[in-house]
Structure 1
Amino acid sequence: MTSELHISLKGLKFWAFHGLYEEEKILGNWFFVDLEVEIKSETISNISQTVDYGQLFEIIKNEMSIPCELLETLSEKILQKIIQFDSIKRVEISIQKQRPNVGIIQGNSAIKGIRYKV
């Protein structure tokens, strides 16, 4: 019998320099990342049958450290790297920027991306 498992990393917090405007690139901002991956497995008895959470975190951490103008581009880079794991059939990421540098927004901005293995 095959089952689907959902593995999540929630509330990952990074200080990063993503943004379209110069001051965002200089001052930085807090970003929160939630990741969920779906794997297909019959029985999981060792790490080779699943995905290493530490490896997922390292991918996110590395991409968060490279300034990017658009959250859309950032999320796509992370999705492309994570979907390449053999055991993963679906990946979903949400990236939230605290207090974006857009005068009319009084809250946060966020992007959600989903990628399926073809």
Structure 2
Amino acid sequence: MDAIYLDDLAFYAFHGVFDEESRLGQRFVVDLVCWLDLGPASREDAYALTVDYGTITEAVGRVVTQSRFKLIERLAGAIAEAVFATDARIEKVKVRVHKPGAPIPIASGRVSVEIVRDRPA
């Protein structure tokens, strides 16, 4: 199946279990893979035959910045739901949420969660 990749979408938001995370916020980075049939767009070079990257990016941004979740697992799930809502042609999505400022007891590192979802029937 064909895929569209949107990588390194960075947002400032207020997700997390700890009070400081909800109060101070931090940066979150989202990577997406959207699977769909790109055959028509690859043959005909017509904008209407593909999905709008901007619409997907805006939908992700709304979820990340206008919602609050304790878990990045739930954030990833909400992003997947929003991506499916943007365009019925998207058959499958992979969402990776990076939380570079996760409160872990080491000097450097990054926590990420990745989910893969098929369009609900």
Could you say which TM-score interval applies, normalised by the shorter chain?
Answer: 0.7 to 0.9
Letter in 2 for 1:96: H
Q: Which moved more, 1:27-36 or 1:102-111?
A: 102-111
Letter in 2 for 1:107: G
Letter in 1 for 2:50: T
Which structure 1 segments of 5+ residues have no match? none
CA distance in 2, matches of 1:13, 1:41: 26
What does the per-residue CA deviation read over 1:22-64, in whole Å, with 9 as the maximum and x for residues that have no partner?
Answer: 0011111111111110111432132332110001101110011
Overall identity of the aligned pairs, in %: 28
- Cα RMSD of the aligned pairs, angstroms, is 1.6
Match runs of 1:56-95 below 5 Å: 56-65=56-65, 66-84=67-85, 85-95=87-97
Q: Partner of 1:48 in structure 2?
A: 48
1:103 Cα deviation (Å)? 2.9
With over 3 angstroms needed to count, the CA separation of the structure-2 counterparts of 1:40 and 1:107, relative to structure 1, is: same
CA distance in 1, matches of 2:74, 2:107: 21
TM-score normalised by the chain length of structure 1? 0.87
TM-score normalised by the chain length of structure 2? 0.85
Letter in 1 for 2:12: W
CA distance in 2, matches of 1:73, 1:114: 13
Aligned residues: 115
CA distance in 1, matches of 2:59, 2:4: 15
Q: Which moved more, 1:102-111 or 1:36-45?
A: 102-111
Higher helix share: 2
Higher strand share: 1
Match runs of 1:1-118 below 5 Å: 4-44=1-41, 45-65=45-65, 66-84=67-85, 85-103=87-105, 106-117=108-119, 118=121
SS at match of 1:88: coil
